[in-house]
Structure 1
Amino acid sequence: MNLRKWIDNKNLNFSVYYTTMEREKILVNCALPYANGPLHLGHIAGAYLGADIFVRFNRMSGNEVLFISGSDEYGTPITISAEKNHVPPQEIADKYHIEQINSFNSLDIIFDKFTRTSDPEHVKDVDEFFINLLEKGYLVKRYMISPFCVEINKFMPDRYIEGECPYCGYKEARGDQCDNCGQTLDPIELINPVCKMTGNSPIFKVTDHFFLKLDSLQEKLSEFIDSKTYWRPNVLKFTQNFIGEGLHPRAITRDLDWGVKIPLKGYENKKIYVWFEALIGYITGARVYSEETGKPEYWKEFWMDKNIKSYYFIGKDNIPFHTIIWPAMLLAHGGFNLPYNVPANEYLRFEGEKFSKSRGIGFTVDEMLKFVDKNSLRYYMASVLPETGDSDFSMNEFQLKVNSELIDKYGNYIYRVESFIKKNGLSPHEPETMDTKDMEMMKFLEDKFSEYSMEVSGIHIKRGISIWLEIVMAANNYFTESAPWKLIKEDTEKLNEKLYVSLKIGQYLTAMLYPYVPSASESIWQTFGVSENLENATFNDVLKINKFNIKKGSIPFEKIDFSNPDILDIQLATIVSVEDHPGADSLYSIKLHGDKIYQTVSDLKKYYTKDDLQGKQVLILTNIEKARIRGVESQCLILSIWNGNSKEVISSTGNDGDFANLGKYRYNGEETLTFKEFQKMEFTVSDHHIIAKLQEKSLPVMLNGKDVNVSIENLDKASIA
């Protein structure tokens, strides 16, 4: 049957979804990450990867998207980090603003504008917002009881107070919110509150602040929320429960040193609270982007045109701020669009546990990208996004899914088709006719593409990749059953037809994969020998292409191998006390602070005085078998290297309890070593870096992504004990 006649008979129109749908303007805002540390994989899964996929999909759909985020630089996490590092808060904010941009870029997460709340332009917008709400009567001055630390002699930010949540019993709830149940809190509500700075209980004193009159906006907010029946169930339920308990005025200022100043005289010792001012950063980002691109009024199209949809990608701990407080602020101000959708994700856990840098659980973005490529990481994380419930990042599953699905199924399919064509010098072209099986395959492609489009446009990112994988499975079966290696000898016309359909399948697969894995998809797309690139094209453009000129290329994926040889549980610890061993003149009894307090017995007395060791940060091995040495228990081993004349303690810098890696590996948790077993291990030194030899692998000892150094430059056999 003629192909066009078959299409007409079936009432089909390739790419019908995109030729008929109305083009839209879409505003996508991502939660502003605190500029107090590196981004870990939990952050990416919570708010950013899904947003980037959604943005790329919409742009390929022909929609006009404005994509905004930025650094939240006035939160108390920044001041906590600054105090730990004995530097000004701005120095911390400056450092991590740049570092976070680089981390996003390394994962191909590219914002139109990544703003920062310390920018004077942001302060200008906050001032305008504050005065607007004050003049309209939505801000009122009231007194409140705030935590006061007697030892420090000042009021403490809510986040500096921790205690037991009165709602769910979580022991480490913060004074502003419980991360376990999501309930917003006041420090005075906490059971047994303590100050994080001193560990002592705060007292509570009266102070005056400005309050946002949420109660006066409850009716309008209820109407707004009742209209959001399409929100994710977890978001809608949490919001309905929150507002159902009744809204109350909420303080928007605090007694802080670090923050946006109140734009009124007489309030020099108070600042606007971060949850109020940071939200306004979404507006600042759009406005500044417009000015920087020479279109100063452009941002208003996204914020003031009532037909424009705005999406807020956040983690679940930010739900009340984006579904209640931010809409309340916008309603009070007037003139701005309210959120259309707030697709908040739940938490991503790492091997069943909560991400924790101090406990060595999980990886930062930069750490993980030392081990795997960004394409593989984006693919796997997209498949485990915690869209409707907590999900788990499993290294074994990561390896299996990438190797099996992305490489063995998709990558191998592209390779099979293109290598057969190149090997045999063929140039498949659009056939005049197709048999029923090929027509059914083309219909299958269209149907699955429509399903995929509906799911991703509805922010069901995981479902989108599942549908893509269905096509991959069908593609491999189709190519195998087509048996072009037989047809090349028997029927060249049929061979052309089968290879053309195979290329169309590869074309669909690669275009559909682009929002998820842009860099690799673009590389593979170029092997089709077409002029268009995916970054600047639409689905409608690229899926209509029916001429191919296969180019030689390679599949841009590497198989992952996470077999873990690291049997050394090494961490950083500070020596807190050095005493003479009571039963041995040549030994020290030493206490160290790592992830907990350790005690050890050491022969370093021959090489170091007590003062030399006191306060020194050293690497310790903690999975060494415990022993009693002359009546004193030794729980760990301070690592040192013999330099020919004496022992050199292996030292580094960081936070106590930071865990060391061997190359890309972390301690596998499987073994407790005897001292003799450890002594048999092989180490070398190369260019001052310590190298461990394990399972025929040479693995550098690393801490916080950097090699651990010693004074020795090179050593073929290093004695470490």
Structure 2
Amino acid sequence: MGNDKFKRYTVTAALPYTNGPVHIGHLAGVYIPADIYVRFLRSTGKDVIFVCGSDEHGVPITLKARNEGISPQEVVDKYHKIIGDSFKDFGIAFNIYHRTSSQTHHDTASDFFRTLYDKGVFSEEETEQYFDEKAGQFLADRYIIGTCPKCGNEEAYGDQCEKCGSSLSPTELINPRSTLSGAKPVMKKTKNWFLPLDKMQPQIEAYIDLHKDWKPNVYGQCKSWLSGGLNPRAMTRDLDWGVKVPVEGAEGKVLYVWFDAPIGYISGTKDLCDPDLSVEKKADYYLNETLKPKDSWEKYWYSEDTKLVHFIGKDNIVFHCIIFPAMLMAHGQYQLADNVPANEFLNLEGDKISTSRNWAVWLHEYLEDFPDKQDVLRYVLTATAPETKDNDFTWKDFQARNNNELVAIFGNFVNRVLVLSHKYFGGQVVMGSGFSDTDLKVMEELKDYPSKIAASIEQYRFREALSEFMNLARLGNKYLADAEPWKLIKTDEERVKTILNIGLQIASNLAILAQPFLPFSSQKLFNMLNMEVQDWDKAGTLNLLPIGHQLNEAALLFEKIEDSAIDAQIQKLMDSKVANEQAAMKSEEAKPNVSFEQFSSMDIRIGTILEAEKVAKTKKLLKLKIDTGLDQRIIVSGIAEYYEPEQIIGKQVSVLINLEPREIKGILSQGMILMAESSDGNLSFVAPANVFPNGSTVR
């Protein structure tokens, strides 16, 4: 496997902000790929630690606290538990899931900053920064919103536009405003400490150029940043929530969250390797006591024979590939990442996942609605992972992949071979008198699957690896379907023994190879086969189950998901969308007052549409013939984009009949029908709830 120079592996997954739960975009982008990789390494016997934790010092957390009227600590305590519990229940097998509000982290981050400070790495600069005079506070990046200069989004943050993904600085925003008071901020001088990325660019560039084998999206984004020239970046902020800057003259300042957060991987490793970790921390940290590290924390970060891999989303590439490596270079003791496999974004039902719009599938809610289907979501999100480009999750595809692939291929094969073994041979592993050419061909094909799957995982091509795994399940399914042991049992019992033996051996191989992708199903299959969990190197053979081995009872590996369950999820999303639209609706401002006499001069009557047709060479106009009760007249109305002509014949409408006639596209229009228009541009007729005589007056 891979490069033998590495004795141990340190694998990190991006620290999620504790200002909200985890959703499927996070899972597909970071946590499932990382978990597959780590579970594979463990199955091959590698010394690996898997570190993650809650990022509890970001500005979004202080904004959340402010909006909810609670303290930042209360916010992070709430979401640390929700996120940690979700990961644990979903089966993300971290060695430790810790938190950056811990004392260990504060000490580690402070010591790291102090080391760079004492080495003279930072430049101390007085710069102008946005200040909210009304709130009396300097504004960090996310305390400022304005119009994005790249795409025109009016709600872009001071560090990033979430609509187009562009990285920004607050001074680039058009019409900036404070999120604290809504006021326009002013520029005011303040002192901060900067990491001189400009001076370090040659060193950083040399590091990036050593890794041309990185995923194209990662390497390409790094080269783009470097080609534009790096600038010094402030590593401190004027805030009161975070790790305090440990130098004199830094009162009221904390470490920049992107200086602080990646150090969380190190502080998490320290606690993981601490044999005297307190009982309270062990409970709070979601420490996996069964995955004890073999070495000191320094070995996992300082040693050249340790491979460091960061799993992140594409919005974190610059921080993990340029800023954090620059910090580690400046420190001098740490090894740099060997790879940073970042995925693209996952969309949901054709729309961008949005926390603020509640357009997401939240992990903790999924686990409530589908408590025994962790592996189904793992499978679907891996099969559709946005590895090279943005991809889309739909509930219908989720259902189809479960029913047509997990149930119909993998589950069907396992169920058949186990049920038939119990039916014909009392659940014992038996063997016939010899192998056919087909048997030998299947056995030969089987040998290659472990190495093919392993190669794809080692190259971070998890979709490809999962596809190869399912090809083995297809091989088993086809073998059984072609052999038809349920027919042969009447005439050739010896042949059936061989068929079922090969089928069971394939099933046991699937149990081993499923471990990285479908850990719950793998364990369930091991239990049905009455096998101990086997390491990866045991796969690829047909002697995993000895003759006479007793199988446990068969059970369904996967169950069909009914339309009703999917319809409920789609309805939940639609309800969220409607609620969002209603919350976002803004009524037009009232027009200037009119006198009663002016209003009384309008003659509005109830009429019925008798005829309707589209006006030639226009997209918006319909020619209507309306019975007003006084006469029948022609009115031209701009509603063609909302109504088909045949749909509205016979409809009653309100008509302003004393509007000055005017010619529109050569047609004399004698009046106006009244329409209600919502803030999102939808139109509806203003009409009586019950049928009224034509000519009735609207007052």
Alignment partner, residue 322 of structure 1: 320
Q: Write the letter of the residue equivalent to 1:595.
A: A
Deviations 1:391-432 (A, max 9, x none): 111111110001110011111111111101101125334667
Deviations 1:365-398 (A, max 9, x none): 1222233321211111111111111111111111
Q: Is the 8 A contact 2:123 2:194 kept in 1?
A: yes
Q: Is the 8 A contact 1:358 1:595 kept in 2?
A: no
State how 1:616-631 maps to structure 2 within 5 Å: none
Q: Show structure 1 runs of 5+ residues with no match.
A: 1-16, 575-591, 600-626, 637-671, 677-721
Q: Does 1:594 align with 2:583?
A: yes
The correspondence for 1:194, drawn from 156, 177, 188, is 177
Deviations 1:108-164 (A, max 9, x none): 112111121111111111111111111222112102221112221211110121233
Is 430-439 or 27-36 further displaced after alignment?
430-439
Q: Is the 8 A contact 1:375 1:557 kept in 2?
A: no
Helix, strand or coil for the counterpart of 1:264? Answer: coil
Aligned counterparts of 1:470 and 1:179: Cα–Cα separation in 2: 38
Alignment partner, residue 527 of structure 2: 526
State how 1:109-128 maps to structure 2 within 5 Å: 109-128=92-111
State how 1:697-716 maps to structure 2 within 5 Å: none
Alignment partner, residue 178 of structure 1: 161
Aligned counterparts of 2:106 and 2:453: Cα–Cα separation in 1: 42
Helix, strand or coil for the counterpart of 1:261? Answer: coil
Q: Is the 8 A contact 1:142 1:209 kept in 2?
A: yes
Deviations 1:277-313 (A, max 9, x none): 1111111011110004787962222111112111100
Q: Is the 8 A contact 2:126 2:192 kept in 1?
A: yes
Question: Following TM superposition, by how much is the alpha carbon of 1:205 offset from its aligned partner in structure 2, in angstroms?
Answer: 1.7
Deviations 1:1-52 (A, max 9, x none): xxxxxxxxxxxxxxxx69x978841110011111111111111112111101
Helix, strand or coil for the counterpart of 1:462? Answer: helix
State how 1:622-661 maps to structure 2 within 5 Å: none
Helix, strand or coil for the counterpart of 1:314? Answer: strand
Q: Write the letter of the residue equivalent to 2:584.
A: D
Question: Following TM superposition, by how much is the alpha carbon of 1:352 offset from its aligned partner in structure 2, in angstroms?
Answer: 1.3
Alignment partner, residue 46 of structure 2: 63
Aligned counterparts of 2:57 and 2:533: Cα–Cα separation in 1: 41
Aligned counterparts of 2:414 and 2:216: Cα–Cα separation in 1: 39
Q: Is the 8 A contact 1:524 1:553 kept in 2?
A: no
Q: Is the 8 A contact 1:359 1:595 kept in 2?
A: no
Alignment partner, residue 121 of structure 2: 138
State how 1:66-465 maps to structure 2 within 5 Å: 66-167=49-150, 169-180=152-163, 182-292=165-275, 298-372=296-370, 373-426=373-426, 427-429=428-430, 433-465=434-466
Q: Write the letter of the residue equivalent to 1:219.
A: P
Alignment partner, residue 595 of structure 2: none
Aligned counterparts of 1:296 and 1:266: Cα–Cα separation in 2: 42
Alignment partner, residue 474 of structure 1: 475
Helix, strand or coil for the counterpart of 2:477? Answer: helix
Alignment partner, residue 703 of structure 1: none
Helix, strand or coil for the counterpart of 2:360? Answer: coil
Question: Following TM superposition, by how much is the alpha carbon of 1:573 offset from its aligned partner in structure 2, in angstroms?
Answer: 11
Aligned counterparts of 2:456 and 2:375: Cα–Cα separation in 1: 22
Helix, strand or coil for the counterpart of 1:424? Answer: helix
Q: Is the 8 A contact 2:122 2:195 kept in 1?
A: yes
Q: Write the letter of the residue equivalent to 1:272.
A: L
Aligned counterparts of 1:77 and 1:559: Cα–Cα separation in 2: 40
Aligned counterparts of 1:48 and 1:445: Cα–Cα separation in 2: 29
Q: Is the 8 A contact 1:58 1:457 kept in 2?
A: no
Alignment partner, residue 556 of structure 2: 555
Aligned counterparts of 2:148 and 2:219: Cα–Cα separation in 1: 22
Alignment partner, residue 544 of structure 2: 545
Aligned counterparts of 1:355 and 1:282: Cα–Cα separation in 2: 27
Aligned counterparts of 1:550 and 1:238: Cα–Cα separation in 2: 52
Aligned counterparts of 1:265 and 1:401: Cα–Cα separation in 2: 59
State how 1:481-496 maps to structure 2 within 5 Å: 481-496=482-497
Aligned counterparts of 1:74 and 1:87: Cα–Cα separation in 2: 15
Alignment partner, residue 699 of structure 1: none
Cα gap change, 1:376 to 1:593, in 2 (>3 Å): closer
Aligned counterparts of 2:351 and 2:303: Cα–Cα separation in 1: 44
Q: Is the 8 A contact 1:194 1:202 kept in 2?
A: yes
Aligned counterparts of 1:443 and 1:296: Cα–Cα separation in 2: 37
Deviations 1:683-712 (A, max 9, x none): xxxxxxxxxxxxxxxxxxxxxxxxxxxxxx
Helix, strand or coil for the counterpart of 2:201? Answer: helix
Deviations 1:597-620 (A, max 9, x none): 479xxxxxxxxxxxxxxxxxxxxx
Aligned counterparts of 2:577 and 2:481: Cα–Cα separation in 1: 55
Give the structure with higher Rg (CA). Answer: 2
Q: Write the letter of the residue equivalent to 2:17.
A: Y
Aligned counterparts of 1:248 and 1:506: Cα–Cα separation in 2: 56
Alignment partner, residue 604 of structure 2: none
Question: Following TM superposition, by how much is the alpha carbon of 1:504 offset from its aligned partner in structure 2, in angstroms?
Answer: 1.5
The correspondence for 1:37, drawn from 20, 29, 32, is 20
Q: Show structure 2 runs of 5+ residues with no match.
A: 278-292, 589-651, 657-673, 679-684, 690-699
Alignment partner, residue 665 of structure 1: none
Cα gap change, 1:593 to 1:390, in 2 (>3 Å): closer
Q: Write the letter of the residue equivalent to 2:394.
A: S
Helix, strand or coil for the counterpart of 2:274? Answer: helix
Q: Write the letter of the residue equivalent to 2:470.
A: L
Aligned counterparts of 1:104 and 1:143: Cα–Cα separation in 2: 43
Question: Following TM superposition, by how much is the alpha carbon of 1:571 offset from its aligned partner in structure 2, in angstroms?
Answer: 6.5
Aligned counterparts of 2:266 and 2:37: Cα–Cα separation in 1: 20
Alignment partner, residue 609 of structure 1: none
Deviations 1:606-646 (A, max 9, x none): xxxxxxxxxxxxxxxxxxxxx999x999999xxxxxxxxxx
Is 491-500 or 385-394 further displaced after alignment?
491-500
- Return the TM-score normalized by structure 1: 0.75
Cα gap change, 1:64 to 1:180, in 2 (>3 Å): farther
Q: Is the 8 A contact 1:165 1:171 kept in 2?
A: yes
Alignment partner, residue 50 of structure 1: 33
Deviations 1:306-329 (A, max 9, x none): 121111001111000000000000
Cα gap change, 1:483 to 1:558, in 2 (>3 Å): closer
Aligned counterparts of 2:675 and 2:70: Cα–Cα separation in 1: 39
State how 1:668-707 maps to structure 2 within 5 Å: none
Cα gap change, 1:628 to 1:291, in 2 (>3 Å): farther
Q: Write the letter of the residue equivalent to 2:272.
A: Y
Question: Following TM superposition, by how much is the alpha carbon of 1:354 offset from its aligned partner in structure 2, in angstroms?
Answer: 1.2
Helix, strand or coil for the counterpart of 1:275? Answer: helix
Helix, strand or coil for the counterpart of 1:370? Answer: helix
Cα gap change, 1:435 to 1:255, in 2 (>3 Å): same
Deviations 1:207-234 (A, max 9, x none): 1101111122111111110010110000
Q: Write the letter of the residue equivalent to 2:180.
A: M
Cα gap change, 1:178 to 1:358, in 2 (>3 Å): closer
Deviations 1:317-349 (A, max 9, x none): 100000000000000001111011000111111
Cα gap change, 1:430 to 1:165, in 2 (>3 Å): farther
Cα gap change, 1:472 to 1:433, in 2 (>3 Å): same
Question: Following TM superposition, by how much is the alpha carbon of 1:179 offset from its aligned partner in structure 2, in angstroms?
Answer: 3.6
